[in-house]
Structure 1
Amino acid sequence: MLEALDITEAEALGLSELAQHDLALARDYARRALAAEDNEEAGRLGRSYQRAARSYRQTLAVKARLKRDLAVAAHARAQAEAAAPKPRPGQAAVARRIGELRTALLRLGWDEAERPESDGTDVAPDGGGGEGAATVDFETACRDFGYRRADIDDLIADERASPEFCDEPLDDHVARLALHLRFPPGGIGRWPDLPDPPGAALARGVHGIDWRSSA
């Protein structure tokens, strides 16, 4: 802040020191003037007191004005920084985040596509399918996953348009998008441990695949 007004820390401290000296002189002149027995001497000391007191007041005024100017400069700088457009993330960072989000959301999507609707008896306490949990047949899972995959790609495409695309921690980013896609909250944190979808489920033109032979 001090640099904005072309004043150093030492110069700012000097103002405080000057104020202390002015106050000390004013007190000394006042004491001596009050104790003087000669009127001429008392008058001379009184005038010296007034000069020291005026210098003290002026130094305090300079400090107060400097404090206000520093606050105004800081506020103006903060406004300028807030108004400045935020630089967009580099293409490498964007590509890396897109890949990480797709990996996480596709794993969650496939995990959900494989799990049939049920009364909850086949769901593990951690929110995922327990050992031996029932799964739907491969063709049905792939068809369901195809819709989920389209939603995932559309959502990531919308997200990448934001300048803050890479700012959010990955796990928080995944969780926010997964909740938007209505994945069960209890299983979202498991995505690093989930398997990737099989190649057949990721194939384009899924309706033309012989699911039984692919499985």
Structure 2
Amino acid sequence: HRRVPLAIMSEAATDRAEAILAELAEMDLELARKAHGAAMAAEDPAEVAGHIRNYQRMARSVRQTLAIKARLAEGRVRRLAERPRLPEPSPFGIKRRIRELNPAVCRVIDAFTEREDERESYRDDLIEAFCDLDATIDYTAVPLDAHVADICHVLGLPAGLAARWRDLPAGEGEDSS
């Protein structure tokens, strides 16, 4: 239910992301099959339960990876056409924007998720999204609220929470001022 930020990715990065996601989906599917087989073969109830948990995690990973891949494909052309290209990007724009985006999006993640493992999964995807920021865009010219909304949409987080991220509780280690 998440995807890589298309509005802020170069076409080459999008192609690479699609290739990586395809490979990850295959690996995740292989693991899910192994976990399913182990659960079916197990006799001890505790062992069955452990294998079922592993299978459920792997199946969720497959679903998430396929959803990301589908979203990459569906929005590529439109987003590439709509994204602003600024003539002189700030060399510090990406680092600065990540410092602004990280606590903002983490507030939304924390408000949306209940379990720590879910939070960690979203945070991992957020870090991947940061790695895909396009160096030719000056993010200091993009309104922070719009960028938070875009990243949250990409991650599959609710638009309503993203819109009111400033009103959500500050995370651990975040300055709440």
- TM category, shorter: 0.3 to 0.5
State TM-score, norm by structure 2: 0.44
RCO comparison, higher one (Cα < 8 Å, 6+)? 2
Max radius of gyration: which structure? 1
